[in-house]
Amino acid sequence: MAVRVPDHAVARALIRAAGGAVATTSANLSGQPPALSADEALAALGGRVAAVLDDGLSPGGVASTVVDCTSERPVVLRAGPLSAADLGLEAS
């Protein structure tokens, strides 16, 4: 399980409107390139989703930073836009 904190005003507004949490997935299948538009997301997910939030093209580029918070000290498992150093953590 993971928690995603988007750096996107529309996504954050949707999360606030939903009460502070949304169960969702990335707009691509594991191992596939990220979808950069709603049309690409719909094509990549092939009917597996009920809705896609469309706010235009995504800046895309770097996959999300993943932090393991299951132990006493959080550890960055995958560096993305934020490195372990950015977060004051150690990398795995």
Question: For residue 86, what are its two tokens?
Answer: 């950015």
pTM: 0.64
What average pLDDT is seen over the chain?
A: 83
66 has which bridge partners? Answer: 78
Does the CA dihedral 11-6-59-69 come out positive or negative? Answer: negative
Per-residue pLDDT tens digits for 55-67: 888 876 677 788 8
Q: What ranges do the domains of the chain cover?
A: 1-61, 62-92
Residue 20, both tokens:
């502070």
Lookup result for tokens 């580029």: 61
Residue 65: partners with Cβ closer than 8 Å, 6 or more residues away: 76, 78, 79, 80, 81, 82, 83, 87
Amino acid in the structure at residue 21: A
